[in-house]
């Protein structure tokens, strides 16, 4: 279901990463760039009935390193808040909304899907703090507050401006979805989300300021249990890694859905990646099989960049 083309050796000068760590040209052996274990894991997952979409792009050359069904629009759960965060950051920058505007939790419909705000004593928070919660811990209530402030039409227009033609935030987070609600909170394609994360770290998503702001929010993400489990990073503080590893990611989780997109950059190279898996969550074994595929990809991404 997937292919792993040989990356093109670029002739362009190596860029410096957002943290200022200069990457040396890749010297890895071909076997270390083949993603053989990932292909085997994803093929086995697909053979078991799971729907798998994957995309890995080299940040320096732009070459496609790994792809498989990356054009499909599939449910991506909480990963779909990234275009929302971009729109919020763009409106902060434009001054159309005040980042310190206070939102009262009591004015929102309760939602217990995920997050911390519903457990906190503070009944109201500024928009800027809600953006941090939505990005770092997947706080559904915080994301709903941001969405209610900027509006779904604005987020959809921003997604189109970002080139997300097969991806969309469709609805707010809900504990239960009725017949009049969108069936999923968001849909997305692995190809578009890999490109979106590349644009964020390359400062081309809306503007350099907006890109930096969204990347900063996402760099505080606590969910390092999937692809990121191979990095060895501290899930509670990894925005300044002493080994020169740049990592920005966002995950999405729902019943039978696991998704992750991000950027991983080390001394040798950098990649933008996305892996989306839809599976029958019939048992812990089914769930762990899906999680293992993410971890295998993480190991081979680390070999690629380090």
- Give domain status of residue 23, yes or no: no
> Across residues 243-260, what is the average pLDDT?
94
Question: Which pTM does this prediction carry?
Answer: 0.88
**Tell me, what's the pLDDT at 26?**
42
- Give domain status of residue 78, yes or no: yes
Domain count, the chain: 1
Q: Which domain holds residue 224?
A: 30-305
Q: What is the CATH number of the domain that holds 184?
A: 3.40.710.10
Question: 117, exposed or middle or buried, with CB in 10 Å at 0-12, 13-18, 19+?
Answer: buried
Cβ proximity of 92 and 128 under 8 Å: yes
**DSSP string for residues in 10-75:** --SPPPBPTTSPBPPPP---GGGGS-HHHHHHHHHHHHTT-EEEEEEEETTT--EEEEESTT--EE
Please give the residue that has the higher pLDDT: either 267 or 34: 267
Residues 41, 288: Cα–Cα separation, whole Å = 12
Out of 10-14, 91-95, 236-240, the most confident range is 91-95
- Give domain status of residue 14, yes or no: no
Instruction: Name the residue among 200, 189, 190 with its Cα closest to residue 270.
Output: 200
> Across residues 71-91, what is the average pLDDT?
98
User: CA of 35: how far to CAs of 56, 113, 177, 206, 221, in Å?
Assistant: 10, 34, 38, 32, 26
Q: List, in order, residues 6 or more apart from 94 with CB less than 8 Å away.
A: none
**Tell me, what's the pLDDT at 80?**
97
Give residue-wise pLDDT tens across range 146-199. Answer: 999 999 999 999 999 999 999 999 999 999 999 999 999 999 999 999 999 999
Q: What is the largest CA-CA distance in the chain?
A: 57
Percent of the chain with pLDDT over 90: 82
Residues 52, 173: Cα–Cα separation, whole Å = 23
1 pLDDT tier (thresholds 50, 70, 90): low
**Tell me, what's the pLDDT at 6?**
45
In angstroms, what is the C-alpha Rg of the chain?
Answer: 19
- Give domain status of residue 191, yes or no: yes
- Give domain status of residue 22, yes or no: no
């Amino acid at each position: 279901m997937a292919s792993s083309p040989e990356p093109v050796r670029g002739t362009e000068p190596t860029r410096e990463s957002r943290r200022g760590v200069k990457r040396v040209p890749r010297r890895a052996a071909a076997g270390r760039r083949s993603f053989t274990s990932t292909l085997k894991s994803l093929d086995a997952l697909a053979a078991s009935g799971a729907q798998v979409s994957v995309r890995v792009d080299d940040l320096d050359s732009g070459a496609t390193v790994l792809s498989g069904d990356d054009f499909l629009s599939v449910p991506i759960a909480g990963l779909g808040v990234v275009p929302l965060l971009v729109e919020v950051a763009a409106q902060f920058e434009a001054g159309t909304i005040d980042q310190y505007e206070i939102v009262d939790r009591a004015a929102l419909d309760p939602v217990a899907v995920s997050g911390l705000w519903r457990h906190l004593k503070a009944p109201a928070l500024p928009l800027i703090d809600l953006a941090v919660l939505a990005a770092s811990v997947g706080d559904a209530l915080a994301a709903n507050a941001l969405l209610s402030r900027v509006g779904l039409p604005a987020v959809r227009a921003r997604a189109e401006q970002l080139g997300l033609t097969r991806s969309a935030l469709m609805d707010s987070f809900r504990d239960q979805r009725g017949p009049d609600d969108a069936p999923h909170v968001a849909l997305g394609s692995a190809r578009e989300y890999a490109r979106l994360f590349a644009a964020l770290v390359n400062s081309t998503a809306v503007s350099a300021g907006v890109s930096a702001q969204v990347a900063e929010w996402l760099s505080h993400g606590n969910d390092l249990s999937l692809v990121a489990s191979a990095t060895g990073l501290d899930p509670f503080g990894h925005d300044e890694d002493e080994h020169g590893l740049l990592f920005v990611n966002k995950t999405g989780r729902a019943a039978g859905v696991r998704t992750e997109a991000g950027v991983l950059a080390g001394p040798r190279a950098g990649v933008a990646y996305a892996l989306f898996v839809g599976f029958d969550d019939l048992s812990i074994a089914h769930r762990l099989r899906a999680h293992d595929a993410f971890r295998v990809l993480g190991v081979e991404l680390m070999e690629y960049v380090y």
